[in-house]
Amino acid sequence: MTALGVFAVLLVIGFVFGRINEAAHFVDLNRREARLSHMVLSSSKQVPSGAMDTSFVSGNVVVSIDYYKRILAALKSIVGGEIGSYQTLLTRARREAVLRMAEQAHSNGANYVACVRLETASVFQNEQGVGSLEVYAYGTALKTDN
């Protein structure tokens, strides 16, 4: 098999398994978000009246893009425009970090998280500019009388 053939096979494998993994993660995110739909997450610094038992909560995730999406992004960067493959990856990472934070708050008995903030950081980058990204969500968990 030629090098181009091997590349094509790896590209197809990356596409198929990447799509399966991404779809499964979105299903899991939707299920977990529905389970925590009673939680209030707010970026406001104001604490609701009747709030008690505050605690710091956080959630983080480190993600890397699969090879298929890396190739698509590289091709897209040649012609310009939005890179949709990175957008879905970042959406999943943000949702996962926020969910982990909300799950920690829920396990502490809280039903409200105030002052929610998100931070991102590049964790690793190789010579091709491909790397991993960390998304960190944090806030103040509160138990309210609502």
71-99: pLDDT as tens digits: 777 777 788 878 777 888 889 999 999 99
Which residues, 6 or more positions from 25, have their beta carbon under 8 angstroms from its beta carbon? Answer: 92, 96
Per residue in 4-24, pLDDT (tens digit) is: 888 888 878 878 888 898 899
Summarize pLDDT for 36-77 with one digit per residue, the tens. 999 999 998 888 887 788 899 999 999 887 777 777 777 777
Fold of the 3-143 domain: Translation Initiation Factor IF3 (3.30.110)
Residue 143 region by backbone torsions, left for phi larger than 0, else alpha for psi between -120 and 50, else beta? beta
Amino acid at 47: V
The tokens describing 84, both together, are 């949709």
Q: Could you tell me the residue ranges of all domains in the chain?
A: 3-143
**Calpha distance 31→49 (Å, rounded):** 30
Residue of 109, 117, 98 whose CA lies nearest to 145: 109
